[in-house]
Amino acid sequence: MHTTQEKYIKRFGPLRIAEHWLNALTFILLVVTGLSQKFHNYELSQWVIMSFGGIDTARLVHRYSGIMLAVLTLQHVLVASFGVIALKWQPSMIIHKKDFQDAIANIRYYLGLQEHGASCDRFDYKQKFEYWGVVVGGMLMIGTGLALWFPTIVTHYLPGELVPVAKALHTNEALLAVMVIIIWHIYNAIFSPEVIPLDTVIFTGKISLSRMLHEHPVEYRRLSGEPPAIAEPQAIYEPGDYQVPAEEETLQDA
C-alpha cells in the first residue's frame, strides 16, 4: 500500500521503460495477428483479420512485428553483454543457488512452516523465471518464424523435416507464451493483492521505499549499506554471491 507521504526510489531508467513498452506492443501485435491465423475459423479471428485489411496485410504485419521482436531481442542481448562485461553492471538476472532456496523458503512460509518468506535481491526468482522465459522463448519464436518465412533457404542447408517441426514449435510455443503472460505476468502486474490495480514501477521507473524494503531488502542493503529499517526476514545467501554493484543501479530518490 502506498501513502501520500511515501518516499520513492529510482528503479528503472527511461531506456528500460521504453524497452518494456516496445516489447509489450510488439508482443500484442504478434499474438493478435498470429492467433487469428491459427484459429481462422472463429468469427473473432475473421473480424481481426478483416480489421487489418485482409489476410495478406495481417501476415505482413505479423512478419514485420517479428522483425521488430528480433531487433529488440538482439539489442537487449548486446546492451546487457556490453554492460556486464565493459561497464561492470551487476548481472542481476543470473540464476543463483539462492533463487532455489528462496522458492523453497516462500513455499514453506505459505504453508506456515517458517515465520518469514524469502528475502530477495534486485530481481526475485519469479521475475528471473519470467525474464528467461521471454528471452529463450523469444529466440525460439524468432528462429522458427524465420524458418516458416524462408523455407526454401532453410531447406537448402538443412533437412526439409525442419519446416513442419518449426511450425509445430512456433504455433505451440505461441499458445504457451500467451498463457504464461496472461496467467503469470498479468496476474503479478495487475491482479496480485500487493499491486492491484496496477504495478506502475515499469511505467514510472520509481518504487516506493516500503515495497523496496519488503520485496528487495538484499538490494536495498547492498546499495545503501544500511540494514533495512523494517524487520527483515532471515536472508538465505552466501556473502560472496553479490559482487559488483551495477552502474545503472543507484539508490536515488525519485
Candidate list 59, 108, 116, 222; residue touching ligand HEM; CB under 6 A? 59
Q: 8: which strand partners?
A: 208
Q: What mask of x and - would describe binding to ligand HEM in positions 154 to 193, judged by CB under 6 A?
A: ----------------xx--x--x----------------
Return the H-helix or E-strand segment holding 57.
helix 55-85
Mutual orientation of helices 55-85 and 14-38 as an angle, nearest 10°? 150
Considering only residues 60 through 89, tell me which ones interact with ligand HEM, judged by CB under 6 A: 62-63, 66, 69-70
Candidate list 9, 29, 31, 32; residue touching ligand HEM; CB under 6 A? 31
Is 34 or 233 the residue whose CB approaches ligand HEM more closely? 34
DSSP 3-state assignment of 53?
coil
Examine residue 49 and tell whether it contacts ligand HEM (CB under 6 A): no
Considering only residues 133 through 152, tell me which ones interact with ligand HEM, judged by CB under 6 A: 141-142, 145-146, 148-149
The residue sitting closest to ligand HEM, measured at its beta carbon, is 145
Return the H-helix or E-strand segment holding 206.
strand 206-208
Long-range contacts of 149-153, Cβ-Cβ distance < 8 Å, separation of 24 or more: 149/63, 149/66
